[in-house]
Structure 1
């Protein structure tokens, strides 16, 4: 089947969740024998190495660069045109014309859009079936940011929340099939028929993420794109609030914050006890040298790839309710769950002081993730969606 796939970020390297999911879905479509024509918006330069990686999976790759001036103009236009900023940042009439021309030339049998950010580029092709992968419910994430925003920014987030809800509702009819990562987000989507949205969980490549018998030089690790607000907040919460409780009992404990593009506020957390890595060539190395994985998320939505990866390499994991709920694991058996600094610190100390119990939780989490969230299982579920579209 000829498929045009439109994404808001070039899907390589894999330092962000949307890029990883796009890459996984692209890999599936290639393996299934589909002819994929990728249209990728990008607000950053794409290396030749990254292009080559993606070109090997596609019939063609078109990269549309968003310059700084483009982005500013897009945001101004979106504000006055009533679009959500999340959509407007990636939308312009000139890009729309360019994508329309590409689609007309290709004459695809299906248009696949990732996130509501790209949904408008499907609108002019009602006769071509479409799939949208919402990934997460943007309306939920925006509502969380409104709740936590400083007073001066609350009007901006209040406006954005209303626009996102309206756009999620209005764009639903442009697509025949709708995907999302977690059932939790599906139930809270601002769409006409949430029950029809298909849950396709993230999958972890269990052939790539495997346990390794290497020396442990770090006690606690948190992984993620360190320029993403929910990860920035989690890193600060871990180092400034949780760890002082841990350090009262065990002052020698070390922390690793691993991930690309660390925000200045994350870089500022670095110390003798806290390592901020920045970009790493192989994130598995950061998992393998660690004793415990902690994901103290307080904002954000959806299933966390970082937890799937950590459990797949057989690390005992600790997280909060916000990330535990979409995981559908067994608390206290597969993973430990806490929300306050005292609860999370208590779990950390328990695992450090009871290595046998930590190993039991790690094994249980490993069995859970490899049994439920392997990429092969995700591909099987995704396959049923595309089969119905043919």
Structure 2
């Protein structure tokens, strides 16, 4: 099958959840014998051979230069209040649609898939040339609804309310305009069914690359340089809120009982206000080239969430690396029962702190949980299985 995969940004480097999902799906679909044609917003890659590992051909679409003018920058600043990266003029939309159709017809494309509705969604609404699938990943209206409920001020509430209404309307449009819609969990699917009844919404979970995320025994155990790790893109609001929660409510309780505990926070774009938190033995790395080596140098992963939706890649990655995970009900809600059974789930900050301390003091327990966690990832969360589900879904929709 010939698949045109359209994403809102470059999928290399793997510095976000949607980039990880897009990269692995394209790579595995190609290895299964499908032809993958990638279209993305961005510039030409420094090393095109890396893209040809995951696709047969690609087309980079650069956003119009007006966004770099003073009016364009004001426009982009205004859009910061909305869950969208770009909203070009109708003329630009028609131009992009024309390029997609031309590229798709040139390669005899059967299925057009886009990942994430935030930027490319508006482009593909009118494209009826191909069978169309949108991979929402998470339900963003569900995320913003939760953010509304946890807002700390009227201003924050109104900001989240605007985002919620905007995304709810966009999700409804997408579901009705596309032949099929995909999300990663039943919770996200139920949220979208409440947004638009009657749409074809399927659940295809996230996966983890268990070859890349291979545990390094030299970095495991009592010799680990750090005790606790959190990793994720820190300009993604749910990750930022999670780190704020840990630094303010959970970690102080841990260091109160275990003063020399070291906490490593890994991920690009750490906000300055987080780095100025007055907490001992906390280190921010920013972006790292080798995420596997960096997070493997910790005894446990502390990964609770206080907002957001969907499956958390960070939890799957830690489990694949045999790093015991401590989280909360929101963090694990979309995982399988077998996966949740390997995670120490705390209901509040005090519970999370005590569970972290218990694991830090028991190397044998950490080792046992780590091995069992990795086996669940191998058995239930392989990207090859995820890609097979996408291939079956394409065939089902394309033959209708």
Residue 144 of structure 1 contacts residue 299 of structure 1 at CA under 8 Å; is this kept in 2?
Answer: yes
Aligned to 1:126: 128
TM-score by length of 1: 0.90
Aligned pair partner of 1:201 in 186, 192, 205: 205
Aligned to 2:19: 19
Residue 186 of structure 1 contacts residue 195 of structure 1 at CA under 8 Å; is this kept in 2?
Answer: no
Residue 74 of structure 1 contacts residue 91 of structure 1 at CA under 8 Å; is this kept in 2?
Answer: no
Query: Could you list the per-position Cα deviations for residues 134-156 of structure 1 after superposition, in whole angstroms to 9, with x for gaps in the alignment?
Result: 10001111112222333123323
Change (3 A) 1:352 1:153: closer
> Please, which runs of 5 or more residues in structure 1 have no aligned partner?
none
Aligned to 2:169: 166
Aligned to 1:181: 184
Query: Could you list the per-position Cα deviations for residues 255-291 of structure 1 after superposition, in whole angstroms to 9, with x for gaps in the alignment?
Result: 0001112111232248651111111111011222110
Cα offset, 1:224, TM superposition: 0.4
Residue 135 of structure 1 contacts residue 179 of structure 1 at CA under 8 Å; is this kept in 2?
Answer: yes
Aligned pair partner of 1:256 in 264, 275, 287: 264
Aligned pair partner of 1:340 in 342, 348, 352: 348
Aligned pair partner of 1:152 in 151, 155, 158: 155
Q: What CA RMSD, in Å, does the superposition of the two structures yield over aligned residues?
A: 2.4
Cα offset, 1:46, TM superposition: 6.5
Aligned to 2:82: 85
| Distance in 2 separating the partners of 1:211 and 1:354 | 19
Indicate the structure whose relative CO is greater, using CA pairs within 8 Å and at least 6 residues apart.
Answer: 2
| Distance in 1 separating the partners of 2:44 and 2:395 | 32
Residue 226 of structure 2 contacts residue 297 of structure 2 at CA under 8 Å; is this kept in 1?
Answer: yes
Q: Which runs of 4+ in 1 moved over 6 A?
A: none
What are the equivalent positions in structure 2 for 1:1-390 lying under 5 Å apart?
A: 1-42=1-42, 48-49=46-47, 51-56=48-53, 57-65=55-63, 67-69=67-69, 70=72, 72-73=74-75, 85-87=82-84, 89-106=86-103, 107=105, 108-117=109-118, 118-149=120-151, 150-189=153-192, 190-193=194-197, 196-214=200-218, 215-269=223-277, 273-330=281-338, 333-390=341-398
| Corresponding residue pairs, total | 382
| Distance in 2 separating the partners of 1:235 and 1:37 | 37
